[in-house]
């Protein structure tokens, strides 16, 4: 990992390698190119669009939870951070001011950033970190996203406290494909460690095992009634009988899919990941880290107090087996119960409850809400997702058999470079990455066997990217594995794109048997999808966004272990098919 602990400056190294002329030339031209970038960006935004100007000041801020105090990273002193509300096609201009002691970057999760990866945010992928005492002006360009998304830190484990909701409204007020809500409420599921989050990170990276589990989950920054020293600050939602509420939910938890339920009430799911869904009714929700879900509920029960509650779905690794709560309190005159009704949530090992919930997602695919599922695939990819191990000296690590835990995509554990991939690509700096990421696993085996031989557990290190031609139609099959005795779900997130989830199943993907069963009529459009444990998921997207785009598991421990890779989409031939130049204050390494 790089960042607060272990971040390295490679300027001298590059000078020694004779690359300083390239970097110096880019610095002289950046300001001119920045004005051109702003001009061209305006050309891709419809005339109605507005630009929203904000300043995000990152500071170390004292906070109290669970009877103890500590300092956490915050934006503008808030935890969770500010909610941004904009309209389809708008642009957000944010100056990020780092007044903290740690490096920081900000990622705009689910925003495609057409032709402008410079503000996407992942550390050492699209930018070097915003160092203490420096600023970075980010331009967030919205296109067809609508509904709920979010923003979060993308450096080390800073996103544990640096995150907030991003709400995108339709161009026409209340032009929803579902009943217009009376009110809307963002709810962010988070978690809290009593320990310093960077100490948690450093400890498990040093000992080779897994991270310590958190001490509490939270709803809108509060643990709730079931945790010590928390009851007086429990989040409360006051509702009026008969009214309809739109809940905009974000899972900002670091390492767990979460179950959520409101006692006594059903909910109607209407959207996810910045896109609408065909409405369906459920009495619970399963939501992956990184994912957003929009749902309606009607206050149609007897006036009283009801708990909303959330706890983890977790089949492996340490996790907090606790429940966070908030209160739904009906307005009016009545005698409230001594304790609200607590909902019954699925068991924490209930894989079917997690997978079957997401399997119900369908795009609207109506005439007034059309979709465009790629049919003629030009690029087929099969990526294995594995937990791995590597020998430790004296077998003194805390992973299986005294080895170090790692993770990989196609058996390649990502090694973070010394400068951003995007900077190296744009400046044609050689030696930073290789462009030969494999399209298929390096060696086939029975990926989901009950027992995978231990000699298949060890990965290779690499900083390897997959090049995509502009407008390539990509089918990517994520294949889970059972290496290291760890068949796990993996919530995979792709930057710079949304994708259609066209199929999924348990066991090993079969290229002959499975594609005929794809849903090519109304598959959901998402940017984060949980690949089921010991199973596979197939997605399709068009590589029509030139730039450098990270793809990774959104379990934070897995990305720390190396489960990530990077796509580079080449420029197209047309003037509007090329990546735009960087801003003048782009953070350099």
3-state SS, residue 29? helix
Contact 447, 482 (CB under 8 A): yes
Structure confidence at residue 345 (pLDDT): 98
Per-residue pLDDT, averaged over 216-232, amounts to 97
pLDDT of the residue at 353: 97
How confident is the model at residue 315, as a pLDDT?
76
Least confident of 4-13, 208-217, 360-369: 4-13
Res. 318 pLDDT band, cuts 50 70 90: confident
412 burial level (CB within 10 Å; 0-12, 13-18, 19+): buried
Query: Burial level of 6, CB count in 10 A (0-12/13-18/19+)?
Result: exposed
97: number of CA atoms within 13 Å, CB side? 8
Bridge pairing between strands 324-330 and 236-239: parallel
For residues 498, 499, 500, 504, the Cα torsion angle rounded to the nearest 10 degrees is -130
* Strand pairing category for 379-390 and 472-480: parallel
Contact partners, residue 339, CB within 8 Å, separation at least 6: none
Q: Among residues 410, 477, 475, 474, which one has the least CA distance to residue 444?
A: 410
- Residue 186, H or E segment: strand 183-192
Contacts of 229 (CB under 8 A, 6+ apart): 64, 65, 66, 67
Burial 515-534, CB ≥16 within 10 A → b, else e = beebbeebbbbbbbbbbbbb
**H and E: helices and strands count for the chain:** 6, 32
- Per residue in 122-178, pLDDT (tens digit) is 999 999 999 999 999 999 999 999 999 999 999 999 999 999 999 999 999 999 999
Q: Which residues pair with 493 in a beta bridge?
A: 528, 552
CB 275 within 8 A of CB 526: yes
In the block, tokens 């000041």 appear at: 57
Query: Averaged over 186-203, what is the pLDDT?
Result: 97
pTM of the model: 0.91
Percent helix, strand, coil in the chain (nearest 5)? 15, 40, 50
Question: Could you write out the DSSP letters of every residue in 212-239?
Answer: PPPSEEEETTB--TTSTT-GGG--EEEE
What sign results for the dihedral spanned by CA atoms 429, 431, 433, 435? positive
pLDDT (tens digit per residue) in 43-67: 444 457 899 999 999 999 999 999 9
Q: Which of 198, 227, 250, 104 is nearest to 554 (CA)?
A: 250
């Amino acid at each position: 990992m790089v960042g607060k602990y272990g971040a390295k400056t490679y300027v001298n190294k590059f000078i020694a390698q004779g690359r300083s002329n390239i970097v110096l030339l880019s610095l002289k031209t950046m300001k001119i190119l920045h004005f051109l970038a702003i001009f061209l960006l305006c050309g891709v935004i419809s005339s109605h669009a507005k630009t929203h100007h904000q300043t995000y000041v990152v500071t170390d801020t004292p906070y109290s939870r669970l009877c103890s105090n500590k300092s956490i990273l915050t934006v503008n002193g808030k935890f969770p951070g500010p909610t941004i509300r904009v309209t389809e096609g708008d642009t957000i201009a944010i100056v990020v001011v780092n007044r903290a002691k740690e490096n920081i970057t900000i990622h705009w999760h689910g925003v495609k950033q057409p032709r402008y990866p410079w503000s996407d945010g992942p550390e050492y992928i699209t930018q070097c970190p915003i160092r203490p005492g420096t600023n970075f002006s980010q331009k967030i360009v919205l296109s067809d996203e609508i509904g709920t998304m979010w923003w979060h830190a993308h450096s080390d484990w800073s996103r544990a406290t640096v995150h907030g909701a991003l709400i995108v409204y339709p161009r026409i007020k209340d032009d929803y494909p579902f009943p217009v809500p009376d009110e809307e409420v963002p709810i962010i599921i988070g978690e809290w460690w009593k320990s310093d989050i960077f100490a948690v990170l450093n400890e498990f990276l040093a000992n080779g095992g897994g991270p310590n589990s958190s001490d509490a989950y939270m709803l809108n920054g509060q643990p709730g009634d079931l945790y010590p020293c928390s009851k007086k600050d429990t989040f409360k939602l006051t509702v009026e009988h008969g009214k309809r509420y739109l809940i905009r939910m974000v899972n900002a938890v670091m390492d767990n899919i979460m179950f959520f339920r409101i006692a006594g009430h059903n909910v109607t799911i209407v959207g996810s990941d910045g896109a609408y869904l065909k409405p369906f009714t459920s009495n619970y929700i399963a939501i992956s880290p990184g994912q957003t879900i929009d749902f309606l509920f009607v206050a149609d029960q007897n006036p009283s107090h009801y708990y909303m509650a959330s706890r983890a779905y977790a089949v492996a690794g340490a996790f907090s087996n606790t429940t966070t709560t908030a209160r739904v309190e009906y307005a009016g005159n009545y005698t409230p119960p001594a304790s609200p009704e607590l909902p019954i949530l699925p068991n924490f090992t209930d894989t079917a409850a997690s997978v079957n919930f997401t399997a119900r997602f369908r795009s609207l695919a109506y005439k007034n809400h059309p979709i465009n599922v790629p049919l003629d695939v030009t690029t087929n990819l099969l990526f294995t997702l594995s937990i791995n191990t590597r020998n430790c000296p004296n077998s003194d690590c805390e992973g299986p058999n005294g080895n170090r835990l790692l993770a990989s995509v196609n058996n390649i554990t990502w090694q973070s470079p010394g400068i951003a991939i995007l900077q190296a690509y744009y400046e044609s700096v050689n030696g930073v990455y290789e462009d030969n990421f494999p399209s298929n696993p390096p060696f086939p085996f029975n990926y989901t066997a009950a027992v995978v031989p231990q000699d298949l557990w060890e990965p290779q290190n690499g900083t390897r990217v997959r090049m995509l031609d502009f407008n390539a139609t990509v089918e990517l099959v994520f294949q889970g594995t059972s290496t290291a005795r760890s068949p796990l779900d993996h919530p995979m997130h792709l930057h710079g794109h949304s994708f259609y989830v066209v199929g999924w199943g348990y066991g090993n993907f079969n290229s002959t048997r499975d594609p005929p069963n794809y849903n090519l009529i109304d598959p959901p459009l998402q940017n984060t999808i949980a690949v089921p444990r010991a199973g596979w998921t197939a997605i399709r997207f068009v590589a029509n966004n030139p730039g450098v785009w990270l793809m990774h598991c959104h379990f934070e421990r897995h990305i720390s272990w190396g489960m990530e890779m990077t796509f580079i989409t080449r420029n197209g031939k047309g003037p509007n098919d090329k990546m735009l130049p960087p801003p003048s204050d782009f953070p350099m390494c």
